[in-house]
């Protein structure tokens, strides 16, 4: 399979994502600059964390209007898989690829710590390496991770199984303890915690590794 990581000005978790993906794929992962528009050869597009465009305006709002995003939308429409982590989640919401928005944390403070998450589903390409209801540990590092959606949207995503992960002990005020959501087809995932930061025992744990391993296994099949 072929995967790439999108790089925006001020992205700072792009290399972490590349290393995590390469460990599961066993071959190089491309870094694609945000002004490029060639994604047809990729099975997976990853949008990493960081502070794209310095988080001016709203987090992810400027990156959502970069040239590459039109191609990412086409990729998703073709059924291609997209993973957005932290700032990547914000970008996907701002671009309309995922429902809801990410707002300032409830306590107005930057949060950087390990958190526990509940896996809601285990029947997607992203979460098939876990069990439904399993608790995993991922790190968070964000200032604007407070997930919000209007009542109608929240009812829809809850009813249609679009919640991917929930916080066990909600650190930021997210509605419904939501830490990650899918698109309607389950091919686009956005989540605030960082699975790529726990894929090796040297990093303090491997709870993030099953996400990448199963995603690669599924897309390479």
Catalytically active residues are 86, 194, 196
H or E element in which residue 76 lies: helix 67-77
The tokens describing 139, both together, are 């790190």
DSSP 14: H
The tokens describing 213, both together, are 């391993």
Nearest one of 133, 174, 176, 139 to 155, comparing CA atoms: 176
User: Is 7:31 a contact under the CB 8 Å cutoff?
Assistant: yes
User: Is 82:188 a contact under the CB 8 Å cutoff?
Assistant: yes
Q: Is the dihedral of CA 97, 191, 30, 94 positive or negative?
A: positive
The SS3 of residue 5 is: strand
The tokens describing 41, both together, are 């050869």
User: Is 120:48 a contact under the CB 8 Å cutoff?
Assistant: no
């Amino acid at each position: 399979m072929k995967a790439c990581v999108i790089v925006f000005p001020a992205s700072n978790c792009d290399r972490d994502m590349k290393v995590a993906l390469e460990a599961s794929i066993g071959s190089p992962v491309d870094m694609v600059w945000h002004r490029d528009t060639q994604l047809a050869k990729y099975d997976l597009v990853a949008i990493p964390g960081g502070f794209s465009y310095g988080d001016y305006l709203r987090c992810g709002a400027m990156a959502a209007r970069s040239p590459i995003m039109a191609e990412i939308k086409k990729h998703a429409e073709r059924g291609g898989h997209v993973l957005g982590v932290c700032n990547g989640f914000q970008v996907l919401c701002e671009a309309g690829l995922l429902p809801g928005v990410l707002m300032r944390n409830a306590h107005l403070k930057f949060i950087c710590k390990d958190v526990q998450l509940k896996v809601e589903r285990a029947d997607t390409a992203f979460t098939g390496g876990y069990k439904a209801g399993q608790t995993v540990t991922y790190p968070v590092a964000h200032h604007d991770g407070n997930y919000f959606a209007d009542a109608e949207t929240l009812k829809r995503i809850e009813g249609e199984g679009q919640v991917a992960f929930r916080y066990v002990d909600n650190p930021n005020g997210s509605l419904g303890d939501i830490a990650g959501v899918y698109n309607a087809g389950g091919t686009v995932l956005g989540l605030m915690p960082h699975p790529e930061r726990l894929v090796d025992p040297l990093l303090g744990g491997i709870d993030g590794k099953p996400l990448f391993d199963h995603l690669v296994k599924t897309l390479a099949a």
